[in-house]
Amino acid sequence: MENETLPSRHTLNPSFHKTKSKDRVPSRAISHNGSYNRSRVGINRVLSLLKKAGSFVRLGSASHSTVAASSFSSKTSSSDLASAVDDLKTKLCIIGSGPAAHTAAIYAARAELKPILFQGWMANDVAPGGQLTTTTVVENFPGFPEGIMGMELMERCRDQSLRFGTRIFTETVSSVDFSATPFKVLTDSRVVLADSVIVATGAVAKRLSFPGSGEGKDGFWNCGISTCAVCDGAAPIFRNKPLAVIGGGDTAMEEANFLTKYASEVFIIHRRDVFRASMAMQKLALSNPKIRVINNSVVVEAYGDGDKRVLGGLKIKNVVTEEVSDLKVSGLFFAIGHEPATKFLGGQLELDPDGYIVTKQGTTQTSVRGVFAAGDVQDKKYRQAVTAAGTGCMAALDAEHYLQGIGSLEGKSS
């Protein structure tokens, strides 16, 4: 199914409601094979579309959250089916749906590059719009002095992309072929041939699973449990309250130290008795009088604060003695790392040891000329919405400069 959104003055605002796990449509499998046979792929795509059309009919009785998520898509017609079999051509294809992707789309569309953007369908178990759709109030994005809900912020970004002419498909990119130009970007439904590509697929914060850690009525995700101290640490529910951080690396030390600005005390919970963090970061955190360390321990349960729908405390298990104790905290922050969404690239771009895309210093250029990277997929240090948006701008400008260059070299417009 196409799920294409075209710019229109009457485009309905999409819903960014998160789907519950039982309502989620499985994300498409990742493929690492960039090669394909045109006729076979064409037949397979038609069959896939027909199969999906049937599945969407069955989804008619799904819950509100699933229907809301599908509001990103438009109805499929016979002409849509035909266009899905034909390769689409564009000067610029953008893969991603967060601040980096939409900022790139806005700049590229205003430069009349007529970009195509793929916003994944629950890619990495995250709704179109990226990581900001999993948070609540965003208070550190410029221009919103009263704060703005993460979902609404991404809805506005998307509307702005559409306004300037970006063509958006709600499809997960399964593989790419950067071995020759035009580059090929493939989903289950189509192939896009692009003169240039911006990869802005982000990175997913790692989370632990235990009773009370998830979403829904029995979980405290976004009700006291978070993965970003910088984003959420200053929230009223955390101020002057005891907080906890899980982790043993530099990120955990940084998060704990940051939280001491707002918390009454901060507990670092680590499953070992030795930290992976650098000695400098350990010294900075452990010398803070507000920080206490709980070594050789793991969280086995999170529970609520009476009848309130907020976190009230944790059950902590010592992995050496197996003793379970109670820790009263109002906030828990996972600081166990991130996983960049780069598997679908199939090793065609240079990655660092942690899987992030390597870019040329001072630019967004990757190891393949004409392919650019923006946002958290290439930024392991800052990982903020505003820095992602900044690199999205850079990537669009870099892509425009590249396209002008190859156009002048070939004596024609790309």
Q: Could you list the active site residues?
A: 228, 231-232
Burial track 133-166 (b if 16+ CB lie within 10 A, e otherwise): bbbbbbeebeeeeeebbbbbbbbebbeebbebbb
Nearest-angstrom CA–CA distance, 213 and 318: 19
Length of the chain: 414
Sequence-distant (6+) residues with CB within 8 A of 353 are none
Nearest-angstrom CA–CA distance, 21 and 215: 8
Phi, psi values for residue 329, rounded to 5°: -140, 155
